[in-house]
Structures are given as structure tokens and as C-alpha cells.
């Protein structure tokens, strides 16, 4: 039996559960600066903005400080997925902006500059799309827009660096133009411009499947990018149209009974597919915010409501009164990119991807 709470209260309970389990500096993966914590803490910030509980802001601040070197700079491991060699490394940088606003500490903006300005040297494919990682030549993943898009436009806005508005908008358009599945109207998980990856179609370079959380990252990033992309920007109207196209396609695949979406979004009737919470939360977030901002028609409120209720109905409470957010995909690379690959991923409870997406949704959604 679920308690009847407001969205922000549910979000607070999700945050509180993980705060009780982990001291800020031990938030996994411990001692690493990466998007796992960044996603969860950005959701925590959205809940904080609703309820004003300083405990949340202080926890976020404590993690950020624990993840920095003694001189206040970002801990860069030099290579791999906890370094400038990947887009994932940039995502927690969005936390520097509220900290700078509160403290005025210029080191936070120096860190943001380190993460964003380095993108000018980051490898791109022949069309200007960022590789997801240096070790994955020419591959664009939808995840990458969330990892690098919002921090770029926040930095562009704060530091008057309009070139990063252009770069972020170009990434949105490139993904839409090259990763669109014409049959479903959705975006597949990855695209290899060189067509050399194991999973890449030899004609289109596309991977095979529409993974829920990747699709969620894309629409979440796009609606957040629009917060900062100037109203006079030449690509703004097209970005809004892309968002509208994506959300109107997403709602077609919403499970009519449960309200959530499947791990492989367009194959809900295939054997082994399962309803997944992190992607569903991100879809509800993007729908709700796009309605509030006037980017899409208010007719989609019913889809957002049904999706929100589907997630809430899936929740459980432990005997200790802790909120359990389950049905979360542990996360994945594309690997061979098959249907079986995605549906076989481990299912988690209170994984940071899912608890973060849940808090992001709750911070936006209003009944």
C-alpha cells in the first residue's frame, strides 16, 4: 500500500532514503566524479527548489566538495570514463552553477570552464557530432546530449559564450537527423558515422533499438537546453519542433494499462520486455515541463498524469519506511545492440540512475 504524498514529498523520500544509506562523500561510485551522482543530485536540487529543505542542498554541496582536489579543481583520472575523454564526466558540472550562485566562489566557475571549454578539443565525427568517448570513434549516443548539453548552455548563458549555444543546438539536430527511426518516430540509441562499430548498420550507421533511458536523456536534455537557448537563436524554433515530434511519438508507446514505458520502447508486446522506471520518469518530466513551458499542447497532460501514476503505483516501502524505487535498468553501453541485450540488463532498486530520474520527475510534476 503506497502512502499518498505530493510529488515533491515523494521526491524527498527518494532522496532521504539514499542520504540515510550513504554519507555524501560515499555516494557511489565512491571517490569518482561522474554522472551517476550528478543525475541523482540534480534531481535532489529540483526537489530542493520545491520544498526548500536545506538538508538537500547541503548534501549536494558536501558531495561536490568531496569530489574535488585539495585546490578545488575537478578530480580528473586522466583516461577512461572518469576523465575528459568522455562526455559522461561533464554532467555533474551542472552542480557548480547553483554553488557559485550561493557562495560566489570563482573556483566553481573555473571548474565549469574546464569541463566545457575542453569540448572545443573533443573529437567529433564528420558532421560535427561529439563522439561519446575517445575510445568509441565516431559514435554518438543519445545519452551524450544529457551529459554535455545542459552544462554547455548554462555556461554559455553565465559566461557570455554564445558559441556553446550553437554547439549544443547542433548536437540536438545531428542526433535527430541521423538517429531517427522513420517507422516509430523515435530515436535509436546510437549512431556511428563511420559505420564500423559492431552494432552499426552498414548503410545507415544506426544501432537497432530504442532504449527507454537514452530516449529519456534526449528529451530531458532538450527541454532543459531550451531554458537557456536564447529566444533569438536561429535554431530555437527547430529545437522546439524536434522536442514536440519526439514527445508526440513517445506517447504512442505508453502502456495503456500501467501508464509506464518499456525498456525497449516500441516493442512492448515482445517476449521478455519489461516496464522500466527511469525512462518513464524522464518521459513524464519532459512532457510535464514542455506543457508548462508551452512547447507542446496541454492535451498531453493526461499522458504525463498516467505515466506519473504508473511510476508511483510501482513503488514499495521497506519495513524501515524507506522508499524503494524499483524496475530500474542498471545501465548499459550499446555492445551488440540487440533486443536481447537491452531486456537482459540487470534490474535494480534505488540505483542512482532511477532514483535521480524519479527525483527529477517529482521536482517538475504537479497534479
By annotation, the residues acting in catalysis are 143
Contact 157, 198 (CB under 8 A): no
Q: Which residue in 209, 118, 123 sits closest to 164, CA to CA?
A: 118
* Residues facing 141 on adjacent strands: 190
Phi then psi for residue 213, to 5 deg, are -70, -35
C-alpha to C-alpha distance for 5 and 317, rounded to whole angstroms: 13
C-alpha to C-alpha distance for 132 and 333, rounded to whole angstroms: 11
- Which secondary-structure segment (H or E) carries 250? helix 236-250
C-alpha to C-alpha distance for 25 and 332, rounded to whole angstroms: 25
Q: Which residue in 299, 292, 281, 154 sits closest to 220, CA to CA?
A: 281
Q: Is 271 exposed, middle or buried (0-12, 13-18, 19+ CB in 10 A)?
A: exposed
Give the SS3 label for residue 261.
Answer: strand
For residue 192, give the C-alpha cell.
556511428
- 60 to each of 63, 116, 180, 350, how far by Cα in Å? 5, 21, 36, 17
Amino acid at each position: 500500500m503506497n502512502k499518498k504524498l505530493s510529488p515533491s514529498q515523494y521526491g524527498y523520500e527518494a532522496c532521504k532514503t539514499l542520504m540515510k544509506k550513504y554519507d555524501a562523500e560515499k555516494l557511489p561510485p565512491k571517490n569518482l566524479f561522474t554522472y551517476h551522482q550528478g543525475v541523482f543530485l540534480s534531481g535532489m536540487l529540483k526537489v530542493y527548489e520545491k520544498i526548500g529543505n536545506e538538508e538537500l542542498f547541503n548534501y549536494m554541496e558536501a558531495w561536490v566538495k568531496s569530489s574535488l582536489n585539495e585546490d578545488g579543481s575537478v578530480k580528473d583520472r586522466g583516461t577512461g570514463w572518469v576523465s575528459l575523454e568522455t562526455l559522461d564526466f561533464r554532467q555533474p558540472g551542472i552542480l557548480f552553477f547553483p554553488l557559485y550562485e550561493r557562495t560566489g566562489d570563482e573556483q566553481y566557475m573555473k571548474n565549469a570552464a574546464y569541463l566545457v571549454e575542453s569540448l572545443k578539443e573533443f573529437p567529433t565525427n564528420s558532421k560535427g557530432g561529439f563522439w561519446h568517448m575517445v575510445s568509441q570513434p565516431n559514435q554518438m549516443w543519445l545519452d551524450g546530449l544529457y551529459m554535455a548539453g545542459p552544462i554547455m548552455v548554462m555556461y554559455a548563458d553565465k559566461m557570455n559564450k554564445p558559441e556553446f549555444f550553437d554547439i549544443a543546438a547542433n548536437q540536438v539536430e545531428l542526433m535527430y537527423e541521423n538517429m531517427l527511426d522513420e517507422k516509430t518516430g523515435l530515436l535509436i540509441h546510437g549512431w556511428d558515422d563511420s559505420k564500423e562499430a559492431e552494432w552499426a548498420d552498414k548503410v545507415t550507421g544506426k544501432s537497432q533499438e530504442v532504449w527507454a533511458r537514452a530516449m529519456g536523456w534526449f528529451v530531458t536534455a532538450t527541454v532543459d537546453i531550451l531554458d537557456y537557448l536564447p529566444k533569438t537563436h536561429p535554431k530555437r524554433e527547430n529545437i522546439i519542433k524536434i522536442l514536440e515530434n519526439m514527445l508526440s511519438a513517445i506517447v504512442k508507446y505508453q502502456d495503456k494499462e500501467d501508464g509506464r514505458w518499456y525498456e525497449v520502447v516500441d516493442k512492448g508486446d515482445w517476449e521478455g520486455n519489461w516496464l522500466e522506471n527511469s525512462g518513464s520518469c524522464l518521459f513524464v518530466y519532459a512532457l510535464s515541463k514542455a506543457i508548462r513551458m508551452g512547447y507542446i499542447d496541454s492535451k498531453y497532460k493526461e499522458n504525463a498524469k498516467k505515466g506519473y501514476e504508473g511510476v508511483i503505483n510501482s513503488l514499495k516501502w521497506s519495513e524501515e519506511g524507506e522508499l524503494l524505487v524499483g524496475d530500474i535498468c542498471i545501465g548499459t553501453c550499446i555492445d551488440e545492440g540487440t533486443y536481447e541485450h537491452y531486456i537482459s540488463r540487470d534490474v535494480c532498486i534505488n540505483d542512482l540512475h532511477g532514483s535521480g530520474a524519479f527525483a527529477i520527475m517529482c521536482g517538475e510534476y504537479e497534479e
